[in-house]
Amino acid sequence: MVATLGTQFLTALADNALLFAAIALVRQQGYPAWNGPLLQDFFVATYILLAPFVGEFADALPKGRVMILANIVKCVGALGMCRGVNPFLSYALVGIGAAAYSPAKYGILGELAAPEYLVKANGLIEVSTVAAILLGAVAGGALTDWSIEGTLIAITGCYAAAALSALIIPRLKRAVPVARFSVIASVETFASQTRALLGNPNARLSLIGTGLFWGAGAALRFLVIAWVPVALKVTNNRLPAFLTAMVAAGIVVGAILAARFVRIEVVHRALPAGILIGVGVCLLPLAGTLPQAFALMAFVGTCSGFFVVPLDALLQRQGEDGLGVGSAIAIQNLFENLSMLALVSGYTAASFMKVPVNDIAVGFGLVLALSMGALTLMRPTTR
């Protein structure tokens, strides 16, 4: 578990610093402002295209080895940015590594932790992730103000260190027997597994809930980057990164509270926090000072951590009881990234049409709050 947490910290640190470095790079190269969110679309498209295959891949190999290979691919993508390769294509390559890494990262928790400790194990991985987001966002924002190339070199080194850290993870047994690979068979199996998960009320709740959460998080990050210079009159890269870090700090608090008060059997307790995330985003135009902005971001983060950690554990339990955790997480990634693609594309379109950023915040928050409210009302009535 310690090796897994270390690997996750290093790779998530690099992921979050890379976003700020990549946005600064496309600005430096003269791309229009709305191309920043387009980077995220290239990233999530790889998750969507590879979703039928990465879960099977993660379950067919020891998950620690999958984490090594995935971080090597991320390292190559970051190195491509350093060497002047098209930033959109390089970021997509990092996305390929991330798509392979995610099912292994979450799938290995069920192999390392007993069922009664699964929510706490997810809390640990989320705390490790959020600590990396805190440091990665702050470092990414601050270092890009100093040197974009130097930041990219440091990020490449973090991915390499993550691959080395994953070597320490014990070689656990494969989740499923190795079989001959077939694209058509993999797609058919993935479609069948997706139908099976959607037919389970608890799994459906987790897929939709986490999908909404991560889609909202991706759009909110770009919203904050655009909102800061308008509302707070600050144009550097550091302040948006600090606000992102404050959301991450709030997620740590929310994850700790969820581990203390929410068990898988009463996961519905976490759902109202999703509505409060949307309410917090709606209040963004009212935050006219730095203390107000930081407090609001901490509130959104705390609600986020309390909401998402139990839903992640719920889906892993469903995967263990049926089709395999790696495959369940790959299906979850598909839903999350379809949501991210839709919400970030919506934000990109609004930005392209020059809709005022405060109007985007209110509209986005309302859509999120109403969606989470509908999810809460339609939750399963049985365990």
C-beta of residue 330 within 8 angstroms of C-beta of residue 315: no
Confidence tier at 71 by pLDDT (50, 70, 90): very high
The b-or-e profile of 107-130 (16+ CB within 10 A means b, else e) is: bbbbbbbeeebbbbbbbbbbbbbb
Radius of gyration for the chain, computed over Cα atoms and rounded to the nearest angstrom: 19
Longest dimension (CA), the chain: 59
| DSSP assignments along 290-310, one per residue | HHHHHHHHHHHHHHHHHHHHH
The three-class DSSP label of residue 31 is coil
pLDDT digits (tens, 9 = 90+) for 88-98: 999 999 999 99
381 or 34: which carries more pLDDT confidence? 34
155 or 145: which carries more pLDDT confidence? 155
Structure confidence at residue 192 (pLDDT): 86
> Over 154-209, what HEC string results?
HHHHHHHHHHHHHCCCCCCCCCCCCCCCCHHHHHHHHHHHHHHHHCCHHHHHHHHH
Share of the chain above pLDDT 90, in %: 19
Task: List all residues 6 or more positions away from 108 whose beta carbon is below 8 Å from its beta carbon.
Answer: 4, 63, 64, 67, 169, 172
Dist CA 161 CA 234 (whole Å): 34
Task: List all residues 6 or more positions away from 31 whose beta carbon is below 8 Å from its beta carbon.
Answer: none
Tell me the residue type at 258: A
Share the mean pLDDT of the chain. Answer: 83
Supply the DSSP symbol for 68.
H
pLDDT digits (tens, 9 = 90+) for 218-265: 888 888 888 888 888 887 778 888 888 888 788 878 878 887 787 766
Domains and CATH numbers, the chain: 2-377 (1.20.1250.20)
Answer whether residue 161 shows pLDDT above 90: yes
Dist CA 278 CA 379 (whole Å): 18
Answer whether residue 157 shows pLDDT above 90: yes
Average pLDDT value for residue range 164-178? 71
Confidence tier at 116 by pLDDT (50, 70, 90): low
Answer whether residue 175 shows pLDDT above 70: no
pLDDT digits (tens, 9 = 90+) for 339-364: 888 888 888 888 888 889 899 999 98
Dist CA 330 CA 60 (whole Å): 13
Confidence tier at 29 by pLDDT (50, 70, 90): confident
Structure confidence at residue 265 (pLDDT): 65
Q: Which of 188-197, 355-364, 373-382 has the lowest mean pLDDT?
A: 373-382
pLDDT digits (tens, 9 = 90+) for 261-270: 877 666 777 8
Structure confidence at residue 370 (pLDDT): 93
Structure confidence at residue 152 (pLDDT): 92
41 or 161: which carries more pLDDT confidence? 161
Share of the chain above pLDDT 70, in %: 90
Structure confidence at residue 382 (pLDDT): 42
Give the residue from 190, 174, 178 showing the smallest Cα distance to 63.
Answer: 174
Instruction: Using the Cα atoms of residue 323, residue 329, residue 335 and residue 341 in order, give the sign of their dihedral.
Output: negative
Dist CA 276 CA 278 (whole Å): 5
